[in-house]
Structure 1
Amino acid sequence: MPSPIPTIKPRPHHADIIARLPSEWASWPRDKSSVNGNVLQAEATPSHYRQRKLRWPKRPVVFISDPHADAMAFEASLIAAGVAERKTHSDLGHLSLTKKGKRTEIIIGGDCLDKGPSNLDLLRSVKQLYRLKARVTLLAGNHDLRLLMGLLALARKKDVGNQHLFVRMGKKVVPLFREVFDQYLVNSKWEKNIPDEETCRKRLFPGEDWFKAFPFHAAGFLTMEGIEREVRKMASKNDSFEKHCHASGLSLRQVYAASLKCQQLFLHKKGEFNWFFRKMELVAKRGSFLFLHAGLDDTMGQMLLKSGPKYANKAFHRNLKRQDLFGFYYSSIANTFRTKYRDADLPLTYRGVKAVHKSGVHVIVQGHVNRQEGQRITIKKGLVHVEADITLDSHSRKVEGLSDYGIGATLINKETGIVGLSCDYPTAKVMTAKELQSIYEEGQAEG
């Protein structure tokens, strides 16, 4: 087997990255710390499951998820994966593709936005990959779509289903508004046509009767646990959102002005970041691997079986254009970038898992589930999941007691198998194609 650790040219601009990465590799660790208590357990597998072979992606895949507005971590992770390099500049935005990068698909697993240090820098880092003509697939994350829902809700007539979606973005979106205000509005006449503070508050916040009306509006769409969780979450965000804005030095008038500017940047045809939501996909199927942000439910399993991933992506974009934001954001489509398989989420049962397997999907590669010691492979609901959110952004790392920005990526190809590369784990984790086949068979037996 060729070395699973990517080769990084020892340029001066790469020295800090190389120093923080593992230089050796080891077989993927086997443990029992999973959602259902079953991670990589080596058990006997019934012979009839051994007949089902995994199909690997046709070209190598580098999966990087949840960069959360940290361009330094994102670019360092591309370099660590061996798909990009810096030749002459050590600052952001000066990458070039390596030979490996030109033949590899780079899948960004969602959650490009929120937390920090800079949403706009991260978006510009992603855009440079398109300029370099890299093979990029950008997946939808819950933080990304939360911004879109908030901006669309502000632009549309208020109703019970949408009037909470702006404040629902919560404190993590405030740094984006701060950035947009500072970079685009601070030296302009931004106050023109912006209403007074109280009017802005009424336009941004849900009405007083929302908390009574929403549970009835959501009945039949969400589980009872989901409704209770949503109302509880909104009560907290409703109380704290304005405080977080003020703590960031923004009045509600400034937040409103920044929101209108975000509509222009993200939603208008000529907006600087118009490409972001336009290029976004819900899922990407490569061989037997399905790449997405969070997970599946029974309805999505049936959709994949009957209509396939291309249909799911088309449905995703068509639903984004619907006037009914509530119907989209609490649907199975949105559950795909939000679920953590909790009682509050739409259910994935044996019926759904069976449909997923019949559709030819046997391994889920996801972000969304934060891991502090590198990637993890686990069996959930009888499906093999590769959890690849390894805490890249420096803001989250500080909160979690981790130093600096994160570096890491998940590498997938048949020659080396699945490689989990992370600055927070002493070795590169390697699972060969043969070992993964064994784990898949085990998941089938469990399912």
Structure 2
Amino acid sequence: MQSPIPTVTDRPHHADIIARLPSEWTAWPRDDGSVNSHVLEPNKTPSLFKKNKLRWPKRSVVFISDPHADAHAFEASLIAAGVAERKKKAGLGQLTLTKKGKQSEIIVGGDCLDKGPSNLELLRSVKQLYKLKARVTLLAGNHDLRLLMGLLALARKKDVGNQHFFVRMGKKVVPLFREVFDEYLADTHWDKKIPDEDTCRELLFPGDEWFKEFPFHAAGFLTAEGIDREVRKMESKNHSFEKHCLAAGLSLRKVYATSLKCQALFLHKKGEFNWFFRKMELVAKRGSFLFLHAGLDDSMGQMLLKSGTKYANKAFHRNLKRRDLFSFYYSSIANTFRTKYRDADLPLTKRGVEAIHKAGIHVVVQGHINRQQGQRITIKKGLVHVEADITLDAHSRKAEGLSGFGIGATLIGKDAGIVGLSCDYPTAKVITAQDLQGIYG
């Protein structure tokens, strides 16, 4: 078999990337202690999976998820996957597509925002791919949609269902606000029409009555565990959000002014980043593979079976335009970019899994759950999942004891199978198409 490891153009300004990548590949781990040990065993494979022939994407897919505002990690991962290379000028935003890049589809698995080091640089790196006319699919992540919910909540009439969404963004959005203030507002008369601190606090924060009213408002939408978790989360953020803003040098007046600027940048038709939410999709089905940010539930399984992914993506965008943000953010649609299959999440049961298999989906490729030793394949709720969030951003890596920014991608295609490439695992992990086809075909 030809090596499934992508060829990185051997240019001097690629040396830093090449040095951190594995140069050999091995079969996906199957040792007794591995969480992957059961995936290739026929007797452990879901029966519906075995009854249907596994279909591969028509075009090779490069899946990169959770770049979390780290443009260096994102661009290095594109190069590592063999779909892009740097021009002679080695800085950010200086990529060209390789032959493989022109032939492949690049799926960005969500969570482009938050954490750091630079949200704006990351957004411009993603936009660069569209300018290069790459085949790009941008999926919705929970961190991305948290920003959208916060901005929309301020722009719309305040009610018990939406008044907590701005503060709910929490401390992770503060670096983005600092960036936007510094780049767009710092040298302007930004404070000319901005109200005083107390008024800004009233505009930004949920009122005291919210904590009494929300559990009743949410009854029937969220599980009891979900309601309790949401209230406890908001109690914490309500006390800490202003403190985190002040620590970053942002008064509430600055935060409010920045929120208005973010609305102009992200929501207005002529905004620099208007494309970001407009191009975003909820799910992407390629062959028997479903790409999304987090996971599925029974209702989404039925939707995919009866109406398909195009309908799900249209429903996603139509719900974003509705005035009732609450019913959207706690719906099955939003669960798709939020769930971790906890008791607080909407359930995925055997009924939902059967619907998903009948819809021709046999492998879910996701981000959302970060891994420190490269990609993982596991069966959750009777459904095969490829967990492909490999901790790319430098901020998370520093907190987790990993060095520098991350590099890696998940490659899926009939020729090579599923390839997990990560700078944090000594070899590329490979499940060949023959291995999968022999068991599931």
TM-score range, shorter chain: over 0.9
> How many Å separate the matches in 2 of 1:301 and 1:419?
26
TM-score w.r.t. the length of structure 2 is 0.97
Alignment of 1:341-356 (within 5 A): 341-356=341-356
Aligned-pair CA distance for 1:84: 0.1
Secondary structure, in 3 states, of the residue corresponding to 2:19? Answer: helix
Pairing of 1:326-365 with structure 2 (within 5 A): 326-365=326-365
Distance 1:300 1:50, change over 3 A: closer
Unaligned 5+ segments in structure 1 are 442-447
1:232 aligned residue: 232
What does residue 29 of structure 2 align with? 29
1:271-310 Cα offsets, whole Å, 9 max, x none, are: 0000000000000000000000000000000000000000
Note closer, same or farther for the CA distance 1:49–1:134 as it changes in structure 2 (3 Å cut). closer
Partner of 1:99: 99
**Distance in 1, Cα, partners of 2:212 & 2:33:** 40
1:42 — aligned with what? 41
Name the CA shift for 1:232/1:32 in 2 (closer, same or farther; >3 Å). Answer: farther
Task: Give secondary structure in 1 for the equivalent of 2:180.
Answer: helix
In 2, the alpha carbon distance for the partners of 1:179 and 1:39 equals 46
C-alpha contact 2:42 2:439 (8 A) present in aligned 1: no
1:378 aligns with 2:378: yes
Q: Aligned pair in 2 of structure 1 residues 438, 390: CA closer, same or farther (>3 Å)?
A: farther
Q: Which residue of 2 aligns with 1:2?
A: 2
Question: Matched residues in 1 for 2:246 and 2:48: separation?
Answer: 62
Question: How far off its partner does 1:433 sit?
Answer: 1.3
Give the aligned partner of residue 203 of structure 1: 203
Change (3 A) 1:34 1:347: farther
Kindly provide the amino acid, as one letter, of the partner of residue 250 in structure 1: L
Gaps of 5+ in 2: none
Q: Structure 1 207/27 Cα, relative in aligned 2: closer, same or farther at 3 Å?
A: same
Q: Structure 2: which amino acid aligns with 1:206?
A: P
Contact 2:116 2:395 in 1 (8 A): yes
| CA–CA separation in structure 2 for the residues paired with 1:49 and 1:66 | 28
Q: How many residues align?
A: 440
Is contact 2:109-2:141 (8 Å) kept? yes
Letter in 1 for 2:39: L
Secondary structure of the 1:166 match is: helix
Q: Is the 8 A contact 1:60 1:103 kept in 2?
A: yes
Q: Decide whether the 8 Å contact of 1:11 with 1:87 is kept in 2.
A: no
SS in 2 for 1:364: strand
After superposition, the C-alpha distances for 1:323-351 in whole angstroms (9 at most, x for unaligned) are 00001000000000000000000000000
Residue aligned with 1:20, SS = coil
What residue is the counterpart of 2:155 in the other structure?
155
1:444 maps to: none
Alpha-carbon distance between aligned partners in 2 of 1:222 and 1:287, rounded to the nearest angstrom: 33
TM-score by structure 1 length?
Answer: 0.96
Given that residues 39 and 377 in structure 1 are in contact (C-alpha distance below 8 angstroms), is that contact kept between their aligned partners in structure 2?
Answer: no
Structure 1 residue 76 corresponds to structure 2 residue 94: no
**Is the Cα contact below 8 Å between 1:38 and 1:379 reproduced in 2?**
no
> Which whole-Å CA distance do the structure 2 matches of 1:215 and 1:439 have between them?
47
Q: CA deviation at 1:437?
A: 3.9
Question: Identity rate of aligned residues, in percent?
Answer: 81
User: Cα–Cα, structure 1 residues 233 and 240, in superposed 2: closer, same or farther, change >3 Å?
Assistant: same
Q: Which amino acid aligns with 1:400?
A: E
C-alpha separation in 1, matches of 2:83 and 2:394? 22
Q: Equivalent residue for 2:407? A: 407
